A and B are shown apart, each in its own frame.
Chain A
Amino acid sequence: MNVTININGKEYSDDVEPRLLLAHFIRENANLTGTHVGCDTTSCGACTVLVDDVPMKSCTMFAVQANGKTITTVEGLAQNGKLVPIQEGFHEKHGLQCGFCTPGMMLTSVAFLKKNPHPSEQEIRWAISGNLCRCTGYVNIVEAVKYAAEKMAEAQNG
């Protein structure tokens, strides 16, 4: 089946099997390997991408379901080489260790902060509870999301 998917502002068209997972289309057809697969069962969230701005676990969605949609992956976060606040936050607050869960964690956070720009700690913890991290114990990920929220608020007000 022919699909055309806009990923990070660029259109990718290909003839794919109906069973091809979106995660594999992104990684193998579009060669964007920042999206990771950690569990195949929608549990870990490493494969989270934004589909029309909504965080989706791309291991549990077929590529054909994303036909005509607009997707943001981790490669689409930084603008003109400049990190966006969530990326800055992960760096400043040491929100990543092995880095494998980081792309999904950041994309979940980006969508969350859009909906809730001034979250409490508990709200952040619930927001990222569909994304598993084995290295950090989440402490610094929560701090990174707080950092991004503050940075975005400053930019808005300033």
Chain B
Amino acid sequence: MAEAMGFGHSVKRKEDARFLRGRGNYIEDIKFPGMLWLDIVRSPFAHAKIKSINKEKALATPGVAAVITGADLVPYKLAWMPTLMSDQQMVLPVDTVMYYAQEVAAVVATSRYAAADGVAAVEVDYEPMTPVLDPHKALESTSPVIRADKQSNRIWHWEVGNRAAVDDELANADVVVAEDIYIPRIHVASIETCGCVAKWDPVEGHLTLYMTTQAPHAIRTVVALVTGHLGLMEHKIRVISPDIGGGFGGKVPVYPGYVLATAASVLTGAPVKWIEDRTENLQADSFARDYHIHGELAATKDGKITAMKMGVVADHGAFDAAANPSKFPAGLFSIATGSYDFQKAFAEVDGVYTNKPPGGIAYRCSFRVTEAVHAIERMVDVLAQKLEMDPADLREKNFIKPEQFPYKSATGWEYDSGNYKGALDKAKAMIGYDALRQEQKEKRAKGELMGIGISTFTEIVGAGPSHTFDILGIKMFDSAEIRIHPTGKVIARLGTKSQGQGHETTYAQIIAEELGIPEDDVAVEEGDTDTAPYGLGTYASRSTPTSGAATAVACRKIKDKARKIAAYLLEAREDDLEWEKGKFFVKGAPDRAKTIQEIAFAAYTNHPQGMEAGLEAVDYYDPPNLTFPFGAYICVVDIDRGTGQVKIRRFVAVDDCGTIINPQIVDGQIAGGLTMGMAPALLEEIVYDENGVNLTGSFSDYLLPTAVETPKWEMDKTVTPSPHHPFGAKGVGESATVGAPPAIANAVVDALSHLGVTNIDIPITPPKVWAILKEKGVAL
């Protein structure tokens, strides 16, 4: 029999077997007899009146079964749909197009090729309107209001902290620094795009929706809320999230294509598949960031930070369709106080409508944490530069100290645990920090440009406690249901949904650790709303903090019952039994023991009279607090004065995610996250022209890092377990994406700081750097 490994073991992934053989089951692999394909007519204008839509030629195209327009959806009240942010979003426009590449009509046909022919044959007559693209201008009183159903382009104003105290400190402090920092619109660009197969059964009135979703249960509830008036109730809806080819936040919201495929299946009575192509994906959905930040820090002249102020204009596009918890329209941006101890802080964010596709979803980040971390980590460097202090020393001087945890931040969070100096010391030692500073000095004297950048970030993940966190009112608990079969084998079902994180392996390891049952004996299932317990899904690094915790708690409930059965079998008192991984034994008599497998068999064959049969438990875990993973990253760059090219020479990442379940999987998450953090720092940006046309609609224009641009990451850990999580884990999927961009940006600015450069907005591309080198007279 295989051995139970549990925590700290790099158990090889159970899910690999099918992926290595091409036997994964992704959305596009799902097909049914008689299935139709849906394709979408998209707007060539960012803002336009629709004068007419002529379907005739499309309907005459061979293979085309139906053409759906906004007007067709109005009688069913489906032309608009609710967003996760309590806004409304057009499924299809009835009279006005709001952004470039917006869905305008849908064509359903017998093949993907016939559907594309149909799309080409739909004739739409537009009257172009001037788009509002600059969110600052959109807030001016003279700007046209772009949404006919709203009074203003300001979606909401959100603020936290004590403005008066902060303003007072800024007015009277020894030193004040201020900087404008723009974090541009980017795109998660998972290698699998979004899509679905909607299968309507008209006899049973039942919908099965196979869908690329990170949150199947929440989606089912939303679909029920949208279509309840049409008779489609939650018990008649089954959402199945199959294998997902990367999510990163882009597969949390509801996009019009999903609703259109569902409507088309109801209309035609056939299963309907919609798979967006890469251009549609890069132009119409899954957009993140777009934060215009003004940051200010106040400090004493010896470098003690005394106050922070952040003002943000957030471009959310034409519909507020992000996926933040309802009480946090700007996500968890209030973590912008970072790893530092000061008690005066104020942050405010204005969400703004513009004629762009909906933005503001996550890019492998827990609700705007990356924006917050980038802002504070850049500002700390700006302050160090002003004070002529080493940025490592300045950070150390201001760190929250280990003995201050749990630490109440100025914006209201209670940080659970941390040892920031421990992580920074380790990173400095790994990279040889002092020697690098010496080398930089020597290089600078020779005119060479070398920079060292630090990021000592704190994340806030694992949303979240139900007293504060909900999406559309649904509390953000998550779940595990564990059933032990008579032979001691296990089925575990969870409310989360892996998109590559390796849940089938790591959840099995939690069960192995808690119950001593080998990982090989555990089957893990997620993503089917008919079978899995309700949960809010996988994003915001929440799976281990919530469902992972639920798994441990459910195991402990099972163990409580197992103890009773073992006492009965061993004819001993429950108090006289001790647990050793995988078995109960009588104290002082280790040979009088019953394994968990023997106990499981007895639970079905020989359980005590009066006891309920079976051995299973379910837990809906409501975390008492969020978790606060952290890390210290140091990046060394060399800048080519001839081309402006930034080369990452070394990058050391010390992460602390608390207790580690599977070291190999954790390192895999961090290496992937670092690469996805480097991407927006150096390469990626969604660009619009003056007409609001997206110029970055392919991978030739929107540059993902390849193996060649990606440096060899140097990774290590410190371990500071979360005191409130059942086994001390904190979550790790997004740490590196959050922590890496400011380390890289700080390194580049550091290389140029002696020339008076204080900030460069990401992505730091060769043309951007070249322009600075030229302006400063150091270009070769």
Contact = CB atoms under 8 A, between A and B. Distances in A.
A40 B16 contact: no
Interface stretch (B447-455, B622-630, B667-675, B759-767): B667-675
Contacts of B665: 94
A101 B245 CA distance: 8
A132 B675 CA distance: 12
A103 B191 contact: no
A137 interface: yes
Contacts of A33: 22, 26, 28-29
Contacts of A32: 22
Contacts of B712: 121, 139
A130 B704 CA distance: 11
Interface string A75-119: 101100001000100111010111111110010000000000000
B699 interface: yes
A129 interface: yes
A137 B24 contact: no
Contacts of A102: 19-20
A39 interface: yes
B191 A75 contact: no
B12 A97 contact: no
A20 B15 CA distance: 32
Interface residues of B, number: 56
Given A91-B12, A91-B16, A100-B191, A129 B672 contact: no
Interface stretch (B173-181, B292-300, B498-506): B498-506
A155 B671 CA distance: 31
B12 A92 contact: yes
B708 A140 contact: no
Contact of B704 (A17, A98, A128, A132): A132
Nearest to A93: B664
B445 interface: no
B113 A99 contact: no
B279 interface: yes
Given A35-B22, A99-B243, A134 B671 contact: no
B190 interface: yes
A36 interface: yes
Given A39-B698, A41-B278, A135-B246, A99 B500 contact: yes
B21 interface: yes
Interface in A6-34: 17, 19-20, 24, 27-28, 32-34
A46 B28 CA distance: 13
B13 interface: yes
Interface in B107-125: 112-113
Contact of B668 (A20, A97, A99): A97
A121 B707 CA distance: 10
Contacts of A131: 706
B22 A137 contact: no
A134 B19 contact: no
A124 B699 CA distance: 21
B111 to A, nearest CB: 9
A96 B279 contact: no
Contacts of B19: 96, 99, 102
A149 interface: no
Contacts of B676: 134, 137
Contacts of B28: 27, 33, 36-37
Interface residues of A, number: 58
A99 B707 contact: no
Contact of A44 (B12, B188, B500, B699): B699
Contacts of A38: 191-193, 245, 278
A97 to B, nearest CB: 4
B189 interface: yes
B700 interface: yes
B248 A134 contact: yes
A19 B113 contact: yes
Contacts of B667: 94
Contacts, number: 173
A2 interface: no
A122 to B, nearest CB: 8
B579 interface: no
A137 B191 contact: no
Contact of A134 (B26, B191, B698): B191
B244 interface: yes
Contacts of B245: 36, 38, 98-100
B277 interface: yes
Contact of B708 (A20, A83, A126): A126
A127 to B, nearest CB: 8
B707 A94 contact: no
Contacts of A43: 278, 698-700
Contacts of B675: 136-138
Nearest to A38: B191
Given A132-B191, A140-B671, A98 B16 contact: no
A91 B246 contact: no
Contacts of A5: none
A125 interface: yes
B363 to A, nearest CB: 11
Contacts of A34: 21-24
Nearest to A37: B28
Contact of A98 (B246, B664, B700): B246
Interface string A42-61: 01101000000000000000
B500 A98 contact: yes
A64 interface: no
Contacts of A73: 22
Contacts of B188: 134
Contact of B246 (A74, A90, A130, A134): A134
B710 interface: yes
B21 A90 contact: no
16 contacts: A27-B28, A27-B29, A34-B23, A38-B245, A39-B278, A43-B698, A43-B700, A44-B278, A91-B13, A94-B667, A96-B13, A97-B502, A98-B500, A134-B704, A136-B672, A137-B672
Q: Top 6 closest A-B pairs, CB basis?
A: A34-B22, A98-B500, A100-B245, A99-B19, A137-B675, A43-B699
Given A34-B22, A100-B246, 8 more contacts: A24-B112, A73-B22, A132-B191, A132-B706, A136-B668, A138-B671, A139-B712, A140-B671
Interface of A: 17, 19-20, 24, 27-28, 32-41, 43-44, 46, 73-75, 77-78, 83, 87, 90-92, 94, 96-103, 106, 121, 124-126, 128-142
